[in-house]
Structure 1
């Protein structure tokens, strides 16, 4: 009897130690607000929408200390629409992130559905990731700085912090028998943070599958990249879905002067190998290129009040058509303003406004229409949107 009691006591003590070395956290964000869109396909639109400043979500994250500096970890993160309760990211249960991995003094390796290196190292330096939300992202988020597309089937490495320097990379398996390169996505990036200075750089390369256009398929859970938006409804680059490769190279930096922060980002986006299907107006093998530059500014007026402003310029090159006539290049000019007031550490109210003007010829071969990210494209070359919202973190 005494031995049994001693055994139970020992097991209880062991369970207590194991519990102390493990942790699981439930977290989330609820972001809701009222929007005005002056030109949604030719009509004014007034509506409520969820997850503009930050995507509405709830998630679980956990770690277990395995000893010797080694830890096991996981994240399961769901996206949802506050107004309807429906799942985000194309209806996926954990569409934002879902991964498991190990960390040590040498860095972290994770496996699952994750963000690429452009998102990790350059994305946080654009206005959309700070105070502007997805409507302040670059036109149709063509460079993925605002994380419109996540990668499935991904192995990711993130380094430890070496005096402010971090680096990492991802590789996403295509999963197509007999064709190793089809569907594959890989990225590399690095960041540096030291006092008032923050720098970031990233590169992303994605190969299309046997069915071009499927790279950004929202419905497929096996597609290497799945999103909450449809590739074919983004006129800035929808006409380039016949490309066999999508490539992004991005740079960014920010410097803080007291309460003010000035930031710059640049991206070069290329759609290689156009014309791989018959349903295209472009010469087979041609390339479409975009160059994007953003200047952003934010000022912490008080500990509770932040104001921000940004200007973004995107230029798309001309591409030769199958009829021999090149398209005209496209230009997109965009300005954004934002005010964010924190009622507490967890709750804030905000106002965001964005204006965009387009000119030239877009990817469909038609006159370029304004297309603010995440919204129905304009019926002409101008579009304005404004939002008043509330965000609560838990």
Structure 2
């Protein structure tokens, strides 16, 4: 009798939840992106290297998103997203260290969220600007070089790993607003609270983005400034306030997408600065076969000994299905005044040249 009563109670609860979900038009989705491959690097500290390399085409992610219709066009939204090391299965930066936020969204007024969120150097200059080409761009084409002295808190990667935040780095403790699209124009703003008693701006951050689409042309701009944001992880390192800005464009012409981008990264404490000039083209041979070619020139100022580098990256991606693709990527960097280092390779070269080749498989769910 007790068992029957308990089962009836459980059934009632399940029915109530189902009814609430139907009435509120709620949805919760689990998704993921898994990427692994074999990488060859011509010069890591003077030696050749072969390795299993997860995450060269795209980061290995899994997450949960959800929304609830609150009525009148207003929705509650959330995202919990983690990044994993596919070789070991370990979480990177915690269970949901890549993104974690909750907020409200309205089709007329935009979206307001709070949590650990990626800033507009990625949202505007990469995701929005590349648009249709975004899935076909290899992460090795993003920023890296041995610009020692740019940011001493990140010395484990010569201080310059993803220095202009184009790979997609989150800012913790932040509030973010993203507008709806007004006749092709959208914009956003983000502010991160430092949480230091008696000093409102210490460890704070801010980011802004603007996007304008007219026909097949996209115009994008972004600005991000972070004040010693990693001081909790690197408490003994000197202060490093990092300012980034950039602007870019893309243009879709039939099967071809052309793009250009300029970013500028500066440490406002020691005066170190890097400018990056980029041009890229993506070509769609068929719905299954895509190629992306990118050239970038990175130039440090006098504080960074005027070090500079040229890099060329070619990616070819073939879709086996809607969810699974194979890809190959070749990246070459020629550096002067520093050791070469391509993003996602395990270390800097012993000189001014480094070549990396990656062959892999990527699956989404």
Partner deviation per Cα, 1:137-172 (whole Å, 9 max, x = no partner): 02232211112x321001000111112211101111
Point out the more displaced range, 156-165 or 117-126: 117-126
Partner deviation per Cα, 1:224-257 (whole Å, 9 max, x = no partner): xxxxxxxxxxxxxxxxx74542101111110011
CA displacement at 1:83 relative to structure 2: 1.5
Matched, 1:50 2:61: no
Aligned position for 1:372: 342
Matched, 1:19 2:9: no
CA displacement at 1:133 relative to structure 2: 2.4
Counterparts of 1:81-100 in structure 2, within 5 Å, are 81-88=85-92, 90=93, 92-100=94-102
Instruction: Please state whether the residue corresponding to 2:86 is helix, strand or coil.
Output: coil
> Residue 130 of structure 2 contacts residue 250 of structure 2 at CA under 8 Å; is this kept in 1?
no
Partner deviation per Cα, 1:348-381 (whole Å, 9 max, x = no partner): 1000110001112xxxxxxx11011132111111
Aligned position for 1:118: 121
Distance 1:65 1:57 in 2: 26
Q: Structure 2: give runs of 5+ residues left out of the alignment.
A: 1-10, 145-160
Aligned match of 2:327 in 326, 350, 353? 350
Task: Mark the CA change 1:12 to 1:33 in structure 2 (over 3 Å): closer, same or farther.
Answer: closer
CA displacement at 1:194 relative to structure 2: 3.4
Matched, 1:296 2:296: no
Q: Structure 1: give runs of 5+ residues left out of the alignment.
A: 1-8, 224-240, 275-286, 320-326, 361-367
Distance 2:41 2:101 in 1: 36
Aligned length, in residue pairs: 333
Partner deviation per Cα, 1:251-306 (whole Å, 9 max, x = no partner): 111001110111000011111112xxxxxxxxxxxx11111110000100111100
Distance 1:208 1:337 in 2: 35
Give the structure-1-normalised TM-score: 0.80
Task: Mark the CA change 1:379 to 1:161 in structure 2 (over 3 Å): closer, same or farther.
Answer: same
> Residue 39 of structure 2 contacts residue 53 of structure 2 at CA under 8 Å; is this kept in 1?
yes
Instruction: Please state whether the residue corresponding to 1:389 is helix, strand or coil.
Output: strand
Aligned match of 1:335 in 309, 312, 315? 312
Task: Mark the CA change 1:12 to 1:146 in structure 2 (over 3 Å): closer, same or farther.
Answer: closer
Distance 2:182 2:88 in 1: 44
Point out the more displaced range, 151-160 or 244-253: 244-253
RMSD over aligned Cα, in angstroms? 2.3
Give the structure-2-normalised TM-score: 0.86
Matched, 1:145 2:166: yes
Instruction: Please state whether the residue corresponding to 2:105 is helix, strand or coil.
Output: strand
Distance 1:166 1:66 in 2: 24
Distance 1:11 1:185 in 2: 44
> Residue 250 of structure 1 contacts residue 268 of structure 1 at CA under 8 Å; is this kept in 2?
yes
Distance 1:309 1:13 in 2: 54
Aligned position for 2:139: 134
Distance 1:269 1:63 in 2: 36
Counterparts of 1:140-289 in structure 2, within 5 Å, are 140-147=161-168, 149-208=169-228, 214-215=230-231, 242-274=238-270, 287-289=271-273
Partner deviation per Cα, 1:27-55 (whole Å, 9 max, x = no partner): 11111111001111221110112122111
Distance 1:181 1:254 in 2: 35
Matched, 1:306 2:276: no
Aligned position for 1:71: 75
Aligned position for 1:3: none
